[in-house]
Structure 1
């Protein structure tokens, strides 16, 4: 999990109907046939994912009703392709079916979406998705023996319910990621059901699946959040930096061609247009594999794999070595007399070329840092081009780049020092306090998740040789989670400003935030010194979870306290609980201890 990278997205209901409009070049036809075969084999699972992500509150029975309607519609339109109702886009028709289910829009509160049409309806369904799934019941768990019995006697139903439960809790995750999760889960059940110690087997083998889902989910939400909040130019910049670092041998013209497919893919995937998503995602991988010689020497084996293993393999392949002819500083961008003229001729192309050249020659930098450098360069050039004498101005550019990177490096070093000095629990408390002070409006579970993610990033990265890029990339994903995907998410003025002002500089912006000045703590009727009787029965993870929630609640109630004072409150409270849980009458003991808590 050093770097979280790209993932694809695959779904199609009515491929045969709409394939008449697809390109007909030989490689495109091959690509279509491969995609169609994969779709035919996974149609039911894909339909489940789509419905579960759109209507997260819906029951499994609701979902089964819709799937029956979808299959009837598909069979009808395969027989009569010219029927008027068969000319709609797949995603529009699916939303129409959801809206037509009796009582469903009212029951699950999306009638306002059904009253809209076309693009506005699509956008409404998208904005109706919820990343925070605290409203859903806990993920259902079965005894290992029950799991094995269920998959033995009713495999399809068991796996369908698993996909449904995972998809509704991960409403922004791309479908192929969820299909891969389901496939890996099925493999785990096959393996573990043959073992004597089934419970231990399931527990151990579930961890990599959870990590896979979390990693790909974070990156997908990060990129889609960038697109939806900042627009296609920022999305394009991210992809230029990522692909230039990963494939430094690629020529700019070839990169530009590839990015057209990549950008189209993300537009479709992030907007929920499942048909465009499968076309473009498959086209991206086909494009890369058809140009291996000019793109990468590390993906030959990947391109021989099937969907979706091919995509996963390419995503996780090693980056190529930097070509010998690539210079760390490109003179035509920092010392040419014609820079301003070239910039004015085609600004988008000019700055894209700069980011491409800088990224492929500085592959040790994080993606956010490369975007910061590009932003600094754009501002510096604007200043230089307004002056009569340009030479002196140009010479300062590399210095400015180094200063920008130095500030980011210092931020990472400080975070890794926290990791070294505080230990894992202390580091968690540090981030719980910090995040709660700047964003107390977030739910306790969100704050715990964000804090844990920051700790995971530092534990993962702070002992690596590429510590800087790893920390900066992963920490930026955490901020992506905090800021959310939808542009209508709001937390408080300071946080909202950092989330929307400048994508590349979100990290420095958040680093400078103090406690939210607009926040009004709840009345102290919620007394921190009230004895929690259930703590005496709690152990291990459950007990740690209670400590985490207590600390966050203490910050909400007393945000004016310094970090050390808040940790002292927590320590005194835990000490009081431990002492009193050891005596016959813990509540009476705690009443005596409460004055020590503060």
Structure 2
């Protein structure tokens, strides 16, 4: 496995090695690993790496660049190859990537890279990467479909699986992704030639369940980390844990949120084989130690011996009921303008709202955090911060949205989807008695789509964040309001 990981790293032309040791180092290491692994394993890794890199690429586009990478290694890594072969061929590949008619995956940053030359161009192209997919497209076929495709063409089946699974799990830590795909293909190969394929698949998939679960969970977590960065990831976990366990102290919640963001900072890009497994286990132990005595649901999850099962149980807990609503005091100007306590003051503020509106979409609470930070940055640089803060009106629209978002997601969570849509329709018929049926249906579908996507813990951060930022969405939450006033 370690050899496989090293090769995968080299396939993306690591910057530090290129800059510190130059092209010969890259050539020597890639050729060493190509010869150690053999063409087939090297090729499989190239599919994984480029599918992760270009998540919007088609199968044919990924295949085209993999063919070029493998051909380069085959030509330049044989005994007696011209010492300049690797440099010449890799530069030629870079030039081909800059051809507007190339068959490779498309990326909007390619044009800027192609204005560079030589090594700088290669490094720039290597750095291009699509953002994580927030909506997955891979659906596992039935056992019969799997075996039909496998028997028809085992190599094509493996290639397509590696492509489809890797683009959907582009931010799963690489060692875990390689282990997961390797194990899955092994299961298919074993069970599709077994006398009782159904029994074989059931047994093998049960044994693989924990690995698949960790693969999926780590991909979601690392995708959020990629979108948010470390500090916003901490905020995201802070909101999540508060809404799950609103009675826990702000100190315990903040400590766990910081630890969760540290886990992802350490493991999402790590090549250590068991980094994510080990760190999730440690993080789960901290959750259980801090919160078991404060919350019955957490205590129930923390029973047993398997750390991953405990974490999945905690991860799957729904929002808790809202705590008693009360007026939430705004952060004090004195603390907001003090670097040592600003962040803590804002976190206390967010904590009180997350306790009160436990069903509110996370994106709204993130928006409240951003708004508070913007006001602080604006006022604390003025001659009279207190007067500036006094002149800033509370974000009443955002507060109203928190209440309405809480109401909407509470209804979505409490009722079946069909019942939820029925209630939405009743709301709009009362609020807009003169509206046409098509208008009502459009409004219902719009709200239902938002709720089904964003009324979840760990909802897609970019999609839901953009929805909240868009002015029309502010009106979308207001179930009882005439849209003409928006």
TM-score (norm 1): 0.43
TM-score (norm 2): 0.50
Q: Larger relative CO (CA 8 A, sep 6+): 1 or 2?
A: 1
